[in-house]
Structure 1
Amino acid sequence: MTTPTSCPALVRGVRALLRAGRLDDARALAAVSDETDPSLCLVLVELDIAEAYLTGESPDPGSVERRRPVIEAHGTQADRWDLELLSARLEFIAQIFLPGTSLASMEGRDRRRVDDLRARVESLQRTSPDRRREGWADFYLGVVLDNLYGERHRAPVHYDRCLAAAEDTADDVLRYEALRHLGDHRNEDRHASAAREMWEDSAASAARAGAVSSTLSQLILLAELARDRGEVDGARLLAAEVARWSGSIGATRLRDQALALAGPAHG
């Protein structure tokens, strides 16, 4: 058996293109690499997840299993943990885009599948090989409680933990996610100023990480907050720009959200 040759710089390049929303370019770059490289296999699953999330379509359920043999044969313990987290992410996205369901509600969902997802994420949280990964497991435990079970009062403690992990490990993408969701809870509790500060910080964190769609997603929330403060014209202008930018990178789900906020004149 040939031992795969890893090229960390190439994998970093694929991930950078992924975060920039240039998914076709990311796949083209990945195609010239060794498909038996565990790191490449993991980033290919990330690509499948990103594509599903940007378009609002159900993710490819076979994405993880196609790469599992390489991870099992050549990967480290951390690689195997990463693959299991990606598997949980795929199931989470499948659940939030499940037809006939709404966020923060179990109505229309198979409770056994959701309970299994929660148990998997709790296991990942307990077995995480390092602080950064522990933070990611805490984040997904929070969003499962928040967006699937509707147990919103139980989620913020997990976001607080993942924010602490993000700051300890300088993970700007994790910081973006934690602040985005904590800001949502502050806004729901009518602390609009605190929500705005968190969302602005979240957008800046996403931008530092080169995560274009994440930055645009935060700008939509800031536009909604401006609208709720009575700054309707400014909110619509910002939303129209976000719609244009989102459409240019194929982020159709974000584009449609922004167009709904911008109003019919920008449709």
Structure 2
Amino acid sequence: MTIDTTVASLTVKPGELLSAARELGLAGRWDRALALLDAATADAPEIRSRILLTAAQTALEKDWFTGGDSARARLAVAERELPDGDWDVDFARLRHTYRQLLLVDGAPRFGPAGKDPEALGTLCRRAEALRDRAPDEGRRGWAAMYAGLVADNHFADRAAAHACYTAALDAAESAGDPLLAREALRHLGDHDHDAGEDGLALERWRRATALGAGAGAVPGTLSQQLLLAVLARDTGDPAGAAALAAEVARWADALGAAPLAAQARAFLSGADPTAPPPTP
């Protein structure tokens, strides 16, 4: 059926539109989600600003899995539309800054080496401030999650990060947020794996995989499957690990998640994706 878009009109509840776009983004259909949001019009400023913020959040997800920086411009637009101090747009900016500071010479670098100490300190304080002024338990948990990521991946402070991840998991269970629980379990499992607690890591990573799949997070579930491949290889099943990683690479290629596909292929060549890259 062909619809004449010059005369057709359609009314959709804003909440349904935003939910549909978020679910498309979680599924790795980032361009479709952004096209849907860009096609929406709203006279009410509060609805228009939420559409723009959702577009920025979707672009953040796209950038994480594709390696681009499409979120920068969309964040700037959302910040102009939303009032100063809006928690959600401030959190989106934190996520963008976290990722940008993680990249040194175009590649992820863990720990503080080669990074601006002042910028890292500001990032840490912003994460803590967002946690302190979060309007509900779920968002408090997300701020705690990113405080942990900052401690872990920018300061190499594993103890502080573990405490933040545990707080994020508690908040996720209290708020009923499967995506936050998935994120916290993913990183707690990484700590278990590093400590040689493979049984606990497997339990947490399996649960994280199921939570991500249940929430429709296709690229996130693939990245979680790669961690299960790591454990399979570490515990004596190299053939199973290789089969799982090969499928992760195939699916990631199909989605356009090039960094994840490259990580899976590196695993097939013997690399450990849970090991941080060499630090100068």
TM-score by length of 1: 0.90
Deviation at 1:175, TM superposition (A): 0.6
Deviation at 1:259, TM superposition (A): 1.1
Matched, 1:30 2:37: yes
Contact 2:56 2:71 in 1 (8 A): no
- Which of 31, 35, 39 is equivalent to 2:50? 39
Residues 212-238 of structure 1: CA deviation (Å, up to 9, x unaligned) = 111001000110111111211110110
- Which of 249, 257, 268 is equivalent to 1:243? 249
CA distance in 1, matches of 2:255, 2:107: 27
CA distance in 1, matches of 2:208, 2:149: 16
Deviation at 1:27, TM superposition (A): 1.4
Contact 1:23 1:51 in 2 (8 A): yes
CA distance in 2, matches of 1:102, 1:129: 32
CA distance in 2, matches of 1:101, 1:153: 25
Q: CA RMSD in A?
A: 1.8
Deviation at 1:132, TM superposition (A): 0.4
Matched, 1:18 2:29: no
- What percentage of aligned pairs have identical amino acids? 35
Q: Which amino acid aligns with 2:77?
A: R
Residues 127-151 of structure 1: CA deviation (Å, up to 9, x unaligned) = 0011000000000000000000111
Match of 2:80 in 1: 69
CA distance in 2, matches of 1:56, 1:205: 24
Deviation at 1:185, TM superposition (A): 0.5
Deviation at 1:42, TM superposition (A): 1.5
| Structure 2 residue matching 1:113: 3-state secondary structure | helix
- Which of 11, 16, 40 is equivalent to 1:9? 16
Contact 2:57 2:71 in 1 (8 A): no
CA distance in 2, matches of 1:235, 1:208: 23
Matched, 1:120 2:131: no
- Which of 143, 146, 163 is equivalent to 1:140? 146
Q: Which amino acid aligns with 1:57?
A: G
Aligned length: 255
Q: Which amino acid aligns with 2:87?
A: W
Deviation at 1:33, TM superposition (A): 1.1
Change (3 A) 1:59 1:150: farther
Contact 2:25 2:62 in 1 (8 A): no
CA distance in 2, matches of 1:162, 1:224: 24
CA distance in 1, matches of 2:159, 2:110: 11
Deviation at 1:62, TM superposition (A): 3.4
Match of 2:8 in 1: none
Contact 2:98 2:123 in 1 (8 A): yes
Comparing 98-107 and 206-215, the one that deviates more = 98-107
Q: Which amino acid aligns with 2:257?
A: A
| Structure 2 residue matching 1:149: 3-state secondary structure | coil
Is there any run of 5+ residues in structure 1 with no aligned partner, and where?
none
- Which of 154, 159, 162 is equivalent to 2:168? 162
- Which of 213, 218, 223 is equivalent to 2:219? 213
TM-score by length of 2: 0.86
CA distance in 2, matches of 1:59, 1:188: 33
